[in-house]
């Protein structure tokens, strides 16, 4: 069973590494800020893969004049465009869309902030490329939007998935696994909620660096586990899962802060973003367990396979750690 876990994890690690460059499935962001009765600032962030920029273009509402406010600004993983949009007509009830979105895998979150404090959020997707801007936020729309965003965030959050994968590798037995994953879920739900509501907070870059460090730590624990050594982590993985889960919750909160919460349905948006994260996490765990079951047909595996996944996970996380620490001064 140990060898089966190792082979399964190799496949998943290779999948994760390949996913590091799969930028096209990152969500895009469209932010529209009302400045006065006739003027809006538009920020359009398109995900890119290297220097390649998807050929997707905003379709502005009829009756609005659009001018470029700033030159396109390349930022890590994205290109940011800024425009000024003016009209004597109201934005509510107008159609906004994205041409070419149906030829991609990109989802786009649209945030509209009005002068009166009203905030509206909705998703545009390859099979739904345009939307009528509603008069106000609805509960059903909030649930749909933030549930999808939560699922996407965890499935695209390769660092969080590698942490969960490492937990799986040192947690034999279904009961122990359930206890460990539950502890991780409770912990990051606490800090995600508290941080999103503004009760606590930590700066993003140090949090991301320590998240990478937590994966390096677990990779070392995986090596100990397969050497037959004992440690607090191996004996009681739920304690470590809970402790580091608190930190990972700040990472989830940072992503949610970038997205923003609709003013009129904050509790529902927060709840269903968290539910989406958990659903994505459960899906990942089920895929891991399914692969383990499929590989269970083979009883013996080469000894060298035992160490490869831990070194692979640790190497990737070490690269992230160095990159993120260096980023403090860049």
Kindly give the confidence (pLDDT) of every residue in the chain, 330 residues in length, as a single tens digit, with 9 standing for 90 and above: 554 454 455 545 444 444 444 334 567 889 999 999 999 999 999 888 767 888 999 998 999 999 988 888 887 778 899 999 999 999 989 999 999 999 988 888 898 988 888 888 888 989 999 999 987 777 788 888 888 888 888 887 888 999 999 999 888 888 899 999 999 999 999 999 898 888 888 888 889 999 999 999 999 999 888 888 888 998 999 999 999 999 999 988 877 776 666 666 678 888 888 999 999 999 999 998 888 777 655 456 665 676 788 889 999 999 999 988 887 776
CA distance 293 to 221: 23
Q: Smallest Cα–Cα separation from 106: which of 28, 20, 22, 52?
A: 28
Q: Smallest Cα–Cα separation from 151: which of 284, 62, 318, 46?
A: 284
Contact 60, 66 (CB under 8 A): yes
């Amino acid at each position: 069973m140990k060898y089966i876990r190792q082979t399964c994890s190799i496949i998943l690690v290779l999948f994760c590494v390949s996913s590091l460059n799969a930028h096209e499935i990152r969500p895009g962001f469209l932010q529209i800020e009302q400045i006065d009765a006739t003027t809006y600032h538009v920020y359009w962030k398109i995900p890119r893969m290297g220097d390649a920029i998807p050929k997707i273009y905003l379709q502005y509402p009829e009756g609005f004049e659009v001018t470029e406010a700033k030159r396109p600004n390349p930022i890590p993983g994205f290109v940011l465009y800024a425009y000024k949009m003016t009209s004597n007509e109201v934005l509510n009830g107008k159609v906004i869309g994205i041409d070419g979105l149906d030829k991609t895998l990109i989802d786009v979150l649209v945030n509209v902030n009005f002068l009166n404090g009203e905030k509206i959020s909705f998703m545009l997707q390859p099979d739904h490329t345009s939307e009528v801007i509603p008069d106000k936020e609805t509960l059903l729309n909030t649930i749909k939007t933030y549930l999808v965003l939560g699922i996407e965030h965890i499935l695209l959050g390769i660092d969080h998935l590698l942490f969960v994968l490492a937990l799986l590798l040192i947690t034999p037995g279904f009961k122990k696994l359930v206890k460990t994953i539950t502890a991780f879920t409770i912990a990051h739900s606490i800090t995600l909620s508290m941080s999103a509501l503004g009760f606590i907070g930590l700066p993003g870059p140090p949090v991301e660096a320590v998240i990478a460090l937590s994966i390096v730590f677990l990779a070392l624990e995986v090596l100990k586990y397969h050497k037959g050594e004992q440690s607090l982590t191996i004996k009681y993985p739920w304690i470590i899962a809970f402790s580091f889960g608190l930190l990972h919750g700040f990472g989830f909160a940072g992503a949610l802060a970038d997205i923003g919460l609709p003013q009129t349905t904050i509790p529902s948006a927060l709840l269903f973003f968290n539910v989406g994260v958990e659903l994505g996490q459960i899906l990942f765990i089920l895929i891991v367990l399914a692969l383990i079951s499929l590989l269970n047909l083979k009883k013996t595996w080469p000894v060298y396979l035992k160490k490869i996944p831990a070194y692979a996970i640790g190497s990737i996380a070490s690269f992230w750690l160095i990159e993120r620490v260096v980023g403090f001064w860049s």
